[in-house]
Structure formats: C-alpha cells, structure tokens
Amino acid sequence: MSTGLLYALSGVGLFMLGAVGVIVLAHLMRKVLAFNVMGSGAFLVLVGLAQRTGQPDPVPQAMVLTGIVVAVAATALALGLARALHARTGGVTLTQGEDGD
Amino acid sequence: MTVNEMLPLAVIASSLLPGMVIFALPEARVGLRSVLNLLGAMSKLVFVILLLEGVARGEVYGFRHTVLPGLDLVFKADALALLFVTLSTVLWLFTTIYAIGYLEGSPHRSRFFGFFSLCVTATVGLAMAGNLFTFFVFYELLTLSTFPLVVHRGTPQAMRGGTVYLAYTLAGGALLLTGIVWLHGLMGQVDFVHGGSVAALGPQATAQIKVVFLLLIAGVGVKAALVPLHGWLPQAMVAPAPVSALLHAVAVVKAGAFGIVRIVYEVYGVEYAQSLGLLKPLAIAAAVTIVWGSLRALTQDDLKKRLAYSTVSQVSYIALGVALFGPVGTIGGLAHLVHQGIMKITLFFAAGNYAETLGVHKVSELDGAGRRMPLTSAAFTIAAFGMIGVAPTAGYVSKWYLGEGALAAGMDWVVAVLWTSSLLNAAYFLPILYRLWFRPPPAAWPAEHIPARGWRETGWLLLAPPLITAAAVLVTGLFAEAGWSPLAWAKLIAAREYLQ
Amino acid sequence: MTEAWLEPAAWLIILPLAWASVAFLAGPGRGARLAILALVAQLGLALELAADLTQRGARMHAVGGWGAPLGIDLMADGLSAVMLLLTQAVALPIAVYAQAYFAETHHRHAATWFWPLAGFLLAAMNALFLSADLFNLYVTLELLGLAAVGLVAVGGGTAQITAALRYLLVSLLASGGYLLGVALLYGAYGTVSMTTLAPLAVGQTPLAVWIAAGLMLVGLLAKTALLPFHFWLPPAHGGAPAPVSALLSALVVKASFYLVLRLALGPFAMMTGTAAGLIGVLGASAILWGAWQALRAQRLKQLVAWSTVAQLGYLFLIFPLLAADGLALQAGALQVVAHGLAKAALFAAAGVLMRATGRDTVEGLAGVAGRVPLTLFAFGLAGVSIMGLPPSAGFLAKWLLIDAALKQGQWGWIVVIIVGSLLAAGYIFRVLRQAFLLAPEDSHFQPVPRRLEWVAFVLAAASVLLGLRGAELVALLGVGS
C-alpha cells in the first residue's frame, strides 16, 4: 500500500467519524468541530489520492486551499448562528420539534 | 394575420378584455362597469353575427398557435361552434342585464362581473376549440372562473356547494386529461374534423380506443351532469340566480354536452363510434339520466332545486340526440342545445324574480304569485310548457326530431323514454303552474323587497330578460322552419357532419 | 461576442457580487435601489446570452484568459440559459417586492442583511449555472448554501435561527459528501471537468466511482429537500420573511436539482440510470406526502412551504423517464421554471395576506378576499400553475411528464401526477375558500402597499402566460444538447 492510499483511507475514516459526529452529537460546538473533522477528511482524500502517480499535482492542492477557505467561512457562520441562538434561548442545542406543523 | 384569423380571437377578447378592466375597477363605479359589460356583450354579438354570415357563406375561420412542439392551441369557428357561441353570446347579454338588476347594491360586484366575463370567455373559447387540447384548456378555465361565482355569497352553505362543485369538476377534468393525453400518445394531435380521425388507428388499437372514449365521455359527462356524475348540480344551487342561469343555460352544463357532441362527431366520427358499439351505452346513460332527473325533480320543494334536477334531465336530451345514429336525431339534439338554453334561462330568471321580489324560494310558497307577478309568471308558464314539450314551443320541436330520430335509428325504446320524460315533466311543472294561477295569494309574502308599481311588478332590469327569452321560446318554436332558426342551423351542421 | 470583457456570462457573476458589497457598505436604502437597477441589467444580460446561444450554439469562456485545469471555465448551453433567465426573472420582481416589504421600521434590521446576502446568493447561483467542472460547482454550491442560511436567519427570531442552523448543518453534511465524491472521482480519473468525465464513466467503472456517485447524489438530494431529506425545508422556508422564502423556494432548491440533472445527463448517466426507479419513487412519495401535509398545515406559509416539498417531487419523476426523445428533460425544465415563478408568487401573496390579516394562519384569512382582491387573484393564478391546470406552464410540464410516461408504458407515474394535482387543488382552494368567506364581525385588516400586491400578480401571471410560450423555452433548452 502506497503512502498516498494510506492518507486517502484515513481521510475516509476521518470523514465518516466527522459525519457521524455532526448527526449524533447534540452540543452545537461539537457539531461544528465534527464538521471540521469531516472536511479535513475530504481534503486528505483529495491530496492523498492525487499522490499515487508519484509526481506532484498542483490541481488538488489548489482545490484543498479553496476548500479550506470555504470551510472556514462555513464554520464562522455556524458559530455566529450558535451564539445568536445562545443569546436568545440560553441553550446550546437544537431543541427538537419546536416547529411542529 | 388575416381577418379570418382575427375574428375568432375578437370574439374571445370582447369579453376577456372588459373582464380584466372590471376586475381593477373600484366597487363604486357602477355606471362604468355596466357600460363595459354591455359594450363587451354587444361587440361580441356583432362579431358573432359577422361570423355567422361568413360561415353560412362557406368561409373558414380559424387560428393556430404552437405551445409546445407537437401541441397547438387551435381555434376554428365552424357551424357547430357557432351554434354554441351564438347561444352563449345572446344569453350572456340578457344574463348580464339581469345580473346588473339582481345584484344592485350588493358587495363585491367588480369581482362578480370580472369572473362573469371570464366565464363566458371560457365558454366561447371552448366552443371554438379546434382540437381536444384547446377544448381542455377552456374546459378547465370554465371550472376555475365559475367557482368564485358559485361561492359568491360567502356563506358556509355556498362554500359547501362550491367545494362539491370543484371536487366533481376537477376530478372530471383529470379523467378528461388522461383520455386526451392517451389519445395524443396514440395518434399525435387530435384535431376536430368532420367524420373524426380516430378510425385511422386501425383495428389493433380498438380496446384502447374504447377505454379512451369512456375517459373522455366521463370527463365531459361531469359537466353535462350525466347520472351518476350529476351530484354537483343541485348543490351549486346556492349561487345567485344569474349564476344559476349561467351554469344551467349558458355555460357549464352546455359545455359538457357540447363536448360530447365534438367527441362523438369530430374525434371518433359517428360511423366509427357506432361500429365500435359506443353509441348504445351512451344512449342508455342519457336515457337513465333523463328519467332519473325527472323523478328527483318531482319531490323537490325548493324551486331552484326542482329546476336543477330538471336540467339534469333535459341536458341529456342532447347526449341522447348525439347517440341516436342518424341525422334526424342529431338535428334534434343540436336544436335542443339551443332550445333548452332559452327555456331554462327563462325559468331561472323567473325563479330569481320570485326570490328577489317576494322572498319566495319554495314551490309551496308560490300560491297566487301569478296574480302578484303576472308577467314573470307568464314567462315561467311558457318556458314550463316548452320543457314539457307542448306545441308550438321550442321544446316541442326538439322532442319531435328526437322521436323521429329514434324511430329512424330503430331504437323504439327511446320514444318510450321521451314519453315518460314528458309525463314526468308535466307532473313536476303543472303543480307549480296550478299554484301560480289558481291558488289564492297568502296574506303576506315571505319577504317583499320590491313593491309593485302599476304593471311593473318588479325592477325592469329583472323583468325584461325573462319576457324576451320567453318570447324567444315561442318564436323559435313557431318559426322553426325559417332560415335563421336554431333548427335550420342544426340541419346545416347535420348535413355537413353526415355528408362528408 | 468578440471582446472577452463584454462576455455576459462573466458579468452575470460580477454584477451581483459588486452590488452585494456596495449594499453592505451603503445600507439598505441605497442598497435596494442599486440592487434593483443592477437586476434589470442582469435580466438584460441573461436575455442577451440566451439570444446569443440560440444563434450560435453552446459556448465556453475562460475567465481572465486562464482556462482549466487551474483556471476557471464558464460554460453556457440551453439548460444554463433557462436557469439563468429564471433566476433573474424571479429575482428582479422579488427585489422590488422586498424594497417595499422591508420599508417598515421594524424590518430595518432584516433589510440591512437582506440586500448583501441576496446579492451573494444570486452571484453564487449564476456562477453555479455557468460552471463546467465539479469542483467549481462545489464552491458555488457551498457559497449558495451559506448565503441561503444567512437569509433564513435574517429575521432574527429564535425559530428562524434554529431553522437556519438546522438548514446549515444539513447543507454542510450534504456538500461534505459531495466534496468527498469529487475527491474520489479525481483520484480515479484525474479530472473534474464534466465534459472530460462523461465518456470515462461508462462501461467498467471502479467501485470508488460508484461510491463517489452515491455520495454526491445523496448530498444533492438532501439539498434539494427530496423526501426523506425534506425535514429542514418547511421550517426554513416557512419561517423566513416572505421575500426570502420566495427566493429560497423558487430558486435555491432548483440549483441543487440542476446539478443532479447535469450529473444524470453527463458523467453519472449510468449510475442514475440504475437508481432512477428509486429516485422516482422518492419523488412520488414527496408529491403525496408534501401535498398531504400542506392540506393539514395550520399556518399559511407552512402550507406554501409544504407545497414546495410536493412540487419538487415532480422534478424527480423525470429520472425514470429520461430518454432520447427529450420529453422528460423538457418536462423537468418547464416544471423548474413554472414552479419558480408560481412559488415566488405564492410566497409574495402569502406575505401580503399576512400583512393584511396581521397573522399567519389559514383560519385568519376569512373575508380577506374583499380587502386584497388582487393578491387573492394572484394566489389563484399561481395556484393554477401549481395545480397543473391549463394554460399555465405547470400544465405543460405535467402534460409532457404524462406524455413521457405513456410513451414508455410506465403507468404508475401518471396516477401519481394526477392524484398530486388533485391534492394540490385541495390545498390551494383551501386557502381561496377561506378567503372568500364572509369576514367575521370583529375582523380588521391592515392596509398593504399596492406594490406588494402587484409583484405577486405579475409573477403569477408570468407563470400562467408562459404556458403559451412553451415552444420558445423548449427551443432554448435544446441549444447545445
């Protein structure tokens, strides 16, 4: 097994771990962190798989850079919304069924 | 665009455009609204007369607009279309006059007259539809534009009537659509042509074609109130009288009956429909409806409900005429399309006058109303005799041709149905006439809104329309052989349908 | 178009970015006026692009002269042009609506955020419709999602923020799945360009590609709120201010659908072919379940939002029916456009009705017909398109769908389409019936700016009248395919 594939496989593992976290965890901070783990997993796959040819490939590097910027923006938005929710309700979780209709 | 393309569009636009303006008018602009209404009705009449004259000469009027590849909106103003267009246009004029009088001072009149205009727009569009798709477009438009009229009063009762109306008509529309798309899939666009075009599909599609026929007829049968699809019609009676006139005489049930005519003659072709054995079941359904409607009418005390069941019965004369294989039956059915319209609208105008003037809604309250309102009651009497089929009214003429047609087609049992129906019609109309003329009036009417002033027993806007249409019932019967009569026009259509 | 800097495709992305930034700095008053002006220009650009495409066929534009793989290529064909036209055609009237809607003082806060976010939303959406490679699509999709989430929260209420957070989490999970899929595809084929991928992903495909396709499709379906991923939509669309709901329901969900369609027509033709039946069944369930919930909804905007769930279901019925005759594709495009216009009109009308009655319940509408007749007429007209009655564009879409199903002998879908239409009639007329009732004695209605009423009416009329111009739309759709 090449190093690239190893990176990719651990990336998939991280991704799944993160995805489960986003779904299962209740605390909003934990959800946001889990999302970041998920994102990092995807980036690892992207960079890892591209290394299999042995030569450096600039395209995935560019993609990952862009992806990181997007992920930072998403994280900021999520944290902002979580803070706004906390300011209004004092809670840090999404209470279920408040809009049952 | 040539004149022959423009004229059918002008007929449609002459009610559509005033309707749109009326929607936007403030409630208080009574004068302007009435002028717009009448201007639309009169100009439509002028366009229709131009068309009639042209078609009699042999001109071809039509228009085609592509909506999707292989799907066109087609209009054609042929003789059959004009039979219905003329009926609607003339009766719309009278109904508008009547409605202006009837709704004087009531709220939401801009909305009412807006939808009223849309409704007649849909009717003339449907009449001039040149293919099944176009027919369907206006068929559904008719449903949508009549719903606000049915629920116009805004009472819970009106809402219930409106909901039943919608449930029936939208379900019918869904059946019709399925049939149309199916046929479309089999043979592409289905234009209305003399002699029909379905026969070209050949024998291997026969089973499918029969199912499609059932779907199409059930779809239009809802509006034509064929038993057991008639349940909405008595429920829709909660609407104001001009709307009832519209539903029963001008637009809705006629649209259904007209659809049956187009489908049998110009989609399937009467010979082909006969060879598939489709006409006999249609005739039986019509016969059952005729008898059933009359039986139900017998027991109704509510005057408008009795008239509604009478419509269920009478409209099926048209379907019956179509189902009788042969030109004489066709003539009877088509003539009845017009005759039933003018007779039934007279009855509803009169019923509206009793309700609006005296507060009388029930048959049992009509005692002596003939002395209080002799002119209205005279009109009612003439129309009722027409419904029974007494000579020399219009109803007699159509029944005569239907009977002749039945004998010519070798369907003698139909004559028995016609006789039974006439007896039943007499059984539910004569007691009303007896009460009107021979029973003493009560000490006080239930709610007398409009006092009598000399010979003017009620407002003149309410009085004039039934008198004119009652006169028309007599004139079309007496001069049935004249060149301009509905009967003569029906003969022209029958000649064109059968000689192709 | 000889000069690159005049390229309308590029300006369709630059313009909204520019006015969004200026609106952020200049505040809602001037921001709104600028946005409306710019949107007029954008509509003109979209029309010019469509006209140009019809004449000269599909085309490619390398941004700044830097082409793929490191630069960005903009691709425009008939499908993109249809989507771009719809987007600008809905956004312009909604902007006019929003300017009047947010004019009241207690909406000041919402207005501050609405204009910049709406601009970024439109820029992301236009870019998405013009992108030609899977990674650019990921970026635009994510930007679109973030702007949309921001818009949901614009009102600042607790319920709105909760709905926004839930929407954000679904959106992030979904685009995460999409990104992983892109990574796997790049690993397998070394490219993310749709045109290059399409011929590669046929025949023997490695397992990784199947997984990638699954991840990307599921992610996109979740973003399009296809049943069973629909749960986030009714609170998000039903809770936001009316102009936001209109943008979200009419446009944003269509963007991810567009992407599903692109993938199904291009690189994933084989994968979607295999899963087409399942997608169709999900669509059918969405039609029935969404309509059923709309029939039961107590609140007006919830009703309209559930109607979106149902109407999106129709879009997914096309996948089992995609065939060489193109009928299903045309049906899908028409449904996207018809629903876009009609749903924007419904939300605009719902906003007026709420203003007039002072509450958001279906119950409270009694008698409103007499007060805002134009709005009610608009609601009815838009309803005609939603119900799929003629002569609306919604009708043409359903007609084509039924036609496609008949041609392939797949009868089940026809039943669903027709039952769905009847259910739609049920919930539309539920509103109209209530509005036509006599007003209760104690009811008092608030005056509503006429402009709000007219916008609802114009959108509704457009969705109906478009039914008469279906041929032009289909012709445009055919460019480059």
For residue C202, the Cα-to-chain-centroid distance in whole angstroms is: 30
C413 close to B (CB below 8 A): no
Chains contacting chain B through 3 or more C-beta pairs under 8 A: C
pLDDT digits (tens, 9 = 90+) for C375-417: 999 999 999 999 999 889 999 999 999 999 988 888 899 999 9
Q: pLDDT digits over C290-306, tens only?
A: 999 999 999 999 999 99
Beta strand segments in C265-393, E: none
Do chains A and B touch, with touching meaning 3 or more CB–CB pairs less than 8 Å apart?
no
Query: What residues in C contact A85, CB-CB < 8 Å?
Result: 158, 161-162, 165
Q: Is the four-CA dihedral B299, B172, B170, B114 of positive or negative sign?
A: negative
State the virtual CA torsion across C470, C476, C477, C481 in degrees, nearest 10: 150
Any residues with CB less than 8 A from the CB of B286 and at least 6 apart, and which?
Answer: B226, B316, B317, B319, B320, B323
C295, C228 in Cβ contact below 8 A? no
Q: Any CB–CB contact under 8 A between C150 and chain A?
A: yes
For residue B68, list its beta bridge partners. B71
CB-CB neighbors (< 8 A) of B184 in chain C:
403
Mean pLDDT of C234-258: 94
Cβ of residue B171 closer than 8 Å to a chain C Cβ: yes
Under 8 Å between Cβ of C471 and B68: yes
Tell if the CB–CB gap between A98 and C161 is shorter than 8 Å.
Answer: no
Radius of gyration of chain B (CA): 21
**Residue pLDDT, tens place only, C165-204:** 999 999 999 999 999 999 999 888 888 888 888 888 777 7
* Domain-located, residue C354: yes
Ranges B80-89, B192-201, C364-373, most confident:
B80-89
Residue B453's contacts (CB-CB under 8 Å, 6 or more residues apart) are: none
* Residue C323, domain extent: 293-481
Q: From C461, C254, C443, C442, select the one nearest C349 (Cα to Cα).
A: C461
Q: Rounding to the nearest 10 degrees, give the CA dihedral for residues A34, A36, A40, A41.
A: 30
Would C143 be classed as within a structural domain? no
Mean pLDDT over residues A4-17, rounded? 91
CB contact under 8 A, C437 and B159: yes
Chain C contact set for B151 (CB, 8 A)? 433, 436
Chain C residues near residue B137 by CB distance under 8 angstroms: 390-391
- C429 touching chain B per CB within 8 A: yes
Sign of CA dihedral B5, C388, C383, C147: negative
Q: How high is the pLDDT of residue A100?
A: 37
Closest CA to B149 of B256, B221, B251, B74: B251
Neighbouring chains of C at 3+ CB pairs under 8 Å are: A, B
Which one of B67, B144, B185 has the shortest CB-CB distance to C467? B67
Which chain C residues touch A84 with a CB distance below 8 Å?
153, 156, 161
Q: Is residue A63 less than 8 Å (CB to CB) from chain C?
A: yes
Q: Is residue C228 part of a domain?
A: no
Tell me if C259 sits within 8 A of C141, measured CB to CB: yes
Strand partners, B74: B64
Enter the pTM of the model. Answer: 0.92
Interval B366-390: pLDDT, tens: 998 998 999 999 999 999 999 999 8
From the CB of residue C440, how many other CB atoms can be counted at a distance below 10 Å? 9
Cβ-based contacts of B166 with chain C (< 8 Å): 425, 429
Residue of C nearest to B109 (CA): C370
- Number of structural domains (chain C) is 1
Instruction: Give tens-digit pLDDT for B426-439.
Output: 999 999 999 999 99
Beta-carbon separation of C422 and B171 below 8 A: yes
Complex ipTM: 0.93
Q: Does B173 touch chain C (CB under 8 A)?
A: yes
Residue C230's Cβ-count burial label (10 Å; 0-12, 13-18, 19+) is buried
Whether C185 has its CB under 8 Å from any CB of chain A: the answer is no
Which residue of chain B has the CA closest to C474?
A: B68
Residue C198 lies in a domain: no
Within 10 angstroms of residue B449's Cβ, the number of other Cβ atoms is: 12
> Which residue of chain A has the CA closest to C183?
A46
CA separation for the pair C269, C217 (Å, rounded): 12
Q: Which of C201, C325, C304 is nearest to C245 (CA)?
A: C304
Q: Show me where the domains of chain B are located.
A: 278-500
pLDDT digits (tens, 9 = 90+) for C46-57: 999 999 999 988
Sequence spans of domains, chain A? 3-89
C chain contacts of residue A62, beta-carbon cutoff 8 Å: 70
Q: Given an 8 Å threshold on Cβ–Cβ distance, is B67 in contact with C422?
A: no
What pLDDT sits at residue C105? 66
What's the CATH number of domain A3-89, 2.40.420.20, 1.10.287.3510, 3.40.47.10, 3.40.50.2000?
1.10.287.3510
Q: Which two tokens stand for residue B284?
A: 């039986």
Record: contact C172-A23, CB cut-off 8 A = no
Q: Write the single-letter amino acid at C121.
A: L
Gap between the Cα atoms of B434 and B436, Å rounded: 5
Please report whether residue C402 resides in a domain.
Answer: yes
Residue A101 pLDDT exceeds 50: no
Nearest residue to C378 via CA among C443, C264, C436, C462: C462
